[in-house]
Structure 1
Amino acid sequence: MSNDSKSQDDVILEEIKTLIDFDDISEKGERLEKKLKIWVKHAEQAICLYVGIDKLPELLTGTVVEMAQAKFVKLGYEGTTSANEEGLVFTWSASDLEPYKDELDQFKKRLPGADDYGWAVTVD
């Protein structure tokens, strides 16, 4: 099956699985895959809402992958902003979008009408 016949979400999910070395076909693996799908959906929604678009363009799929992968790393530490484990310190932003805002702001500048600052109306 080529990438052309797969949905954008399927391609994103495959990329995440590759990055986290996911190959578990057990019941536990199925539950994790369901979580990955939810994280992808939530990342797409957050990005679209922040940027002000209805459908995620392919250009932003890498950001979705990174956001979902970050959720995987944070698994078990939801609601915290830092954790220590065997000498390693993990820190997370309170907002999942925070690390990607510069990138998303650059994308927003490319949208049609981004340079429009509104209209001035006068009544004489």
Structure 2
Amino acid sequence: MHEMSLMESVIEIVCETARRNGVTRVKSVRLEVGVLSHVDPEALLFCYEAVRRGTIADGAALEINHVEGEGWCVDCCKTVKLEERFGGCPECGRHRVQMTAGDELKIRDMEVV
């Protein structure tokens, strides 16, 4: 389950950022997870419960926002919605689409006390 190592990294970044800024408690964390990222949001939530214990993020809420897949079609020069990685352009059907969104895992922000 790679979500465990991902969430360990998220908590490490959150806690280190909080400490550097003199914060003693994190109230909430908000993530952006792309629908094409191959990351299971339910597994992230499960792992979050385990890895936050004993840290300054212990008790902090986790919000996961889903980012839709999007790409730029080189052939028809349009921004298009992507339903799958390496999928064809829904406009022209060709497969020269450069993904521009939907594969990210990003800490959007956090609320601190």
Alignment TM class, shorter chain as reference: 0.3 to 0.5
TM-score, L = length of structure 1: 0.30
Q: Higher RCO, 1 or 2 (CA under 8 Å, sep at least 6)?
A: 2
TM-score norm. by structure 2 comes to: 0.33
Give the helix-richer structure, 1 or 2.
1
Which is richer in strand? 2
